[in-house]
Structure 1
Amino acid sequence: MRRGVLDDGREVFAKSGPASEGFASEAAGLRWLGEAAAVPEVIDVRPDRLVLSWVRQEPPGPPAAERFGRSLARLHRAGAPGFGAPWPGFIAELPMGNSPAADWPAFYAERRVLPFLRTARLGSSDAALVERAVGRLAEVAGPAEPPARIHGDLWSGNVLWSGGDGVLIDPAAHGGHRETDLAMLDLFGLPYLDRVLGAYREEFPPAEGWRERVPVHQLHPLLVHVVLFGGAYRESLMSAVRRVLAL
């Protein structure tokens, strides 16, 4: 990853690495999110590189946080054709299925949680509890909602503050449940998160009980962290599992 300047004077951010579908997936997600939200411009994408416009960052503050909350609400309201996406999914370097599913609980179970559970190297008793939680998804997911246009990996490091708003980077974009993005912000924190959520609620109120459902949407990112970093995230995962089972 490096910063550069093109011949026409534009500042860019370039990623490079072994050829894979990951860069094309990220570019497709950025372009799709960019129809409704602030994202870097995709300048060039090839199997082994991705070149984006440079984002000039600034310190966040309450006005920017509130503007970002409203922007995120509008992004989610922009919607998606279905649950999933027409491009391959990735989170970090890990592939994810994006093929469609009939509803969000099925998509979340079959394309997100269960595939990562199979590679998380949990003990049999822990894995059984995760499977029990997955079995309750249809029951605890809350009121059915149409597919939202979501970032899919919305931790604080993927929000850059620029131009008085939040700019989205490194998406795992797909048609999903909007509470997934809200739960990711809650999981890893964000400056002025209370202001973000307050403005979001004014623009596009989540369904009643959304805060109680936060651990449902945290099962997948916590499993991803168990796969990537091992047992350090096991207790956080199992805490979320127990909270889901208690709903």
Structure 2
Amino acid sequence: MQQPPGSNHLTDTDRSLLSGLADFSATVTEKTVNGNPARPGELDSFSYDFSQATQSKGLNRLNRTLVQNQQSHLTAQYHKPLYAGQKLELTTDSESQNYRYYQINDQACSTSRIGYVEGELVEASVSHSASQSTRISKYVKGHLEEDNVIPASASKTQNFLVVLQQALEQDKAATLGRGHVIARIHLGRYSGQSDVDQRPARAQGLTVHGVSGVRISSRKSMNTLMRLEPR
């Protein structure tokens, strides 16, 4: 995945729209065979390609756009008997040439986009598109009786910006609430309401300068208020 400086860390928001997989490319194929001796051009074959590519563009982590693209492509050609249960044995004899020949070409694409400006989420969407073409040729005793092409296509784009923005606001509110609790705990320590170690500073190996009447709960807490030195 190509990335701008400082943007190699994915946030939870990024992961919510991305696949979670590393980029890849894969191909599955079957051996191509001549399925009809009378028509050498009619091959039986299967091929499926699937890939993913992710790219991050922008100046830095706060100003960037993530784009993840997944693509698939399937092609297949095969012979089938005219009727279910009928055995297909194609030879050069015209009496055996009773079949349907299928030629399939399917393609699909999915694109996820996430964008930030000054750290604020400004884009979050997923787009899907697919197209299919199926050609069916019907032969009876070697003669072409029907030749139909059935096309199909569909596309859809979903915008998740509002949903994710609301989720981020809820997370911020929850984090702020936890911060208030932590602040109250620390204030309690400084006012002497905490049950943590409240021995005199010198008993803990510390010398306090410039502050009096404050009970020390821990070396870490006091570091935020005054200068501490080993005895």
The TM-score by the shorter chain falls in which range? under 0.3
Compare the two structures and name the one with the higher helix fraction: 1
Bigger Rg, which one: 2
TM-score by length of 2: 0.19
Compare the two structures and name the one with the higher strand fraction: 2
- Name the structure, 1 or 2, with higher relative contact order (CA <8 Å, separation 6+): 1
